[in-house]
Amino acid sequence: MATTGKDSKAPVADMLEEPDPMPRDERRSYDRFDVEWAVDCIAEDTFLYAAIANISAMGIFVKTTSPHVIGARLILSFAPPGYEPFKLEGEVTWINVLRADGDNPNPGMGVRFVNLLPDDRERLVEVIRTIAYIRGPA
């Protein structure tokens, strides 16, 4: 998504303010960027150490063979290189389970960011804009 002028931060910031879950057919309408960052996913009684495979303004895809159930609320802790660590709340919106026949090269879960604080939103926008500038969309 290209923008020009003084308001170049607005489109990404607007994406982060979407309060409702995104319909499945629209979840890919936001630019995603491939990354390889470690992430800790903490649920009520479960701790999962995994990897973020991609990130967008709306959330992340966590590559794991043990995804949480849809609707699970998570605390996500991750540190993009060159930035202060994030500790954000997320909700599992979809899962891609590991199949017994191995016909699934990308098991994991889609996690939508929820209840972002203004400071976290601004920092997340900065990280995504930097990735977008350097690499372009995935």
pLDDT (tens digit, 9 = 90+) per residue, 107-138? 999 999 999 898 998 898 888 888 877 775 55
Q: Which residues contact 132 (CB under 8 A, 6 or more apart)?
A: 31, 33
Q: What is the pTM of this model?
A: 0.74
pLDDT classification of 97: cutoffs 50, 70, 90: confident
Give the residue-averaged pLDDT of 33-38.
Answer: 88
**CB-CB contact of 66 with 109 (8 Å):** no
Residue scoring higher pLDDT (51 or 20): 51
